[in-house]
Amino acid sequence: MKADKSIAKTKKSRQTAAKPPLRDVFTVICKTDLKVDCVKEFKFHPVRKWRFDYAVPEHKIALEVEGGVWTGGRHTSPKGFLGDIEKYNTATLMGWRVFRTTPDDLYKKKTLDLMKSAILNDFTP
């Protein structure tokens, strides 16, 4: 006797507990070490869809992580480079201080020191 193929197989659904959203390491470091709220993927322009990789809105400080510097990523292509110039210049006109770093330097002391100096308005050459 052959099995009836008209009976549809049903998948058993698994119930999983909702996972809390992952916290971004750099924003946590800013909160614990610099005592400021840092926002990842912060939309700063009222019309354009531009976002900063990281921003401290209270101080109008932005940090852009320039990926692909060794592999020919978007930031180093002619179109990407020109787009970044427009974005950074517009942000500056809006009163933002935009700093740039690489993924390798994001968690290094020099980047945190840069952010701290910007927050405190303390530039020492």
Q: Any idea what the CATH number is for the domain that residue 97 is in?
A: 3.40.960.10
Closest residue by Cα to residue 26 from 60, 52, 58: 52
Q: pLDDT digits over 80-103, tens only?
A: 889 999 999 999 999 999 999 999
Question: Is 106 inside any structural domain?
Answer: yes
Categorize the per-residue pLDDT at 21 as very low, low, confident or very high, splitting at 50, 70 and 90: low
* Residue 33 clears pLDDT 70, i.e. is over it: yes
Cβ(54)–Cβ(63) below 8 Å: yes
Q: What is the mean pLDDT of residues 7-17?
A: 58
- Model confidence at 122, pLDDT cuts 50, 70, 90, reads confident
Q: Model's pTM, two decimal places?
A: 0.76
For residue 73, what are the domain limits? 25-120
- Please check whether residue 10 lies inside any domain of the structure: no
CA distance 50 to 54: 12
Number of domains, the chain: 1
pLDDT at 69 (0 to 100): 61
Is residue 111's pLDDT more than 60? yes
pLDDT score for 2: 56
Strand order in the sheet with 97-101: 39-43, 51-56, 61-65, 97-101
Residue 63 to residue 74: CA distance in whole angstroms? 17
Mean pLDDT across 48-77 = 86
Of 106 and 78, the one with more pLDDT: 106
Whether residue 9 is contained in a domain is answered as: no
CA distance 26 to 28: 5
